[in-house]
Amino acid sequence: MKELVIISGKGGTGKTTITASFAALSENAVIADADVDASDLHLILHPSVRIDNQFFCGHEAEIRQVDCVGCGACLAHCRFEAVKMLGDNAGEAEFSIDASSCEGCGACVRLCPVKAIDFHERYCGEWYVSDTRFGPMVHAVLGAGAENSGKLVNIVRTNAKKVATETGRSLIITDGPPGIGCPVISSVTGADAVLAVAEPTLSGIHDLSRVIELARHFRIKMFVCVNKFDINPGLTEKIERLSEESGAFIAGRISYDREVTNAQNEGLSVIEHNKGVSVGEIKSIWGKISREF
Ligand code: SF4
Ligand code: SF4
């Protein structure tokens, strides 16, 4: 089993468009959406959820008012100012914990003299195993403001491998998060290859350099493609030179093509929409990666 992760230095470079097209072109793949902070592959693949799982990340403290004796120890020891004094009730102070400020360190739970603080698992989102017209898909939604997306990325990838094993599929195509932070590291660690999608802008070059460094650090085979290459052919050449000098393989170029947006508006992959110059270009990139992967 092999895994190809599609990444980019920043969001909005066409990463998900390419992932959806690869899903349409592949014949025996599991699709994983590891861009859990801003997942949108489902808008094209329209997954039908088969298994729905809750994702918990860490803990949060909650005072049981009925058992609290108002000693204030939790307020005194919380370093994150999550404990609030609500005021007096018949001469006794009342305390409560602001869940959004609680870091789940557990100090108050240990220090409460009457054990009046519960320590729940924190609900942070959901992850799913679904069916799509191109095969099984594992994807997730991280709750608003929830952290630990690296852990959720890991859950998505682990379960994509499990589904691939169960269904006898030999390839996992993963839509990775943008950037080079924790979620991206979590999405490329142990992958067989990455495809970095770059745009021919100055910031695109900067973003790509960071992604190249990341792939080199983890010794992962890297392909690069330039999306909307014709908006600046000079910078496209510069990106391709930089990539080759860094040991990456040039997978190809994709033109600026209004049909890509039309495909998205219709909820289709570019391959299914089958209009515009980008169809052949994406097929060529997929062919090259399939041969050299
Ligand atoms: S668990 Fe830690 S962060 Fe949360 S309220 Fe208690 S002491 Fe504060
Ligand atoms: S430490 Fe326990 S008893 Fe004291 S104020 Fe906090 S919750 Fe109430």
Quick check: CB of 107 below 6 Å from ligand 1? Answer: yes
Q: Distance of alpha carbon 181 from its chain centroid, rounded?
A: 11
Pocket test for ligand 1, best of 83, 110, 112 (most atoms within 8 A of CB): 83
Per-residue pLDDT of the chain (293 residues; tens, 9 = 90+): 999 999 998 888 899 999 999 999 998 899 999 999 888 999 999 999 999 999 998 899 999 999 999 999 999 999 999 999 987 665 678 899 999 899 999 999 999 999 999 999 999 999 999 999 999 999 999 887 777 788 999 999 999 999 999 999 999 999 998 888 888 888 899 999 999 999 999 988 988 898 898 888 999 999 999 999 999 999 999 999 999 999 999 999 999 999 999 999 999 999 999 999 999 999 999 999 999 88
Nearest ligand 1 atom, CA 59: 1
Ligand 2: centre distance to CA 118 (Å): 11
The whole-model pTM stands at 0.88
Ligand 2: centre distance to CA 289 (Å): 60
pLDDT of residue 89: 60
Which residue ranges form the domains of the chain, and what is each CATH number? Answer: 2-56+125-292 (3.40.50.300), 65-115 (3.30.70.20)
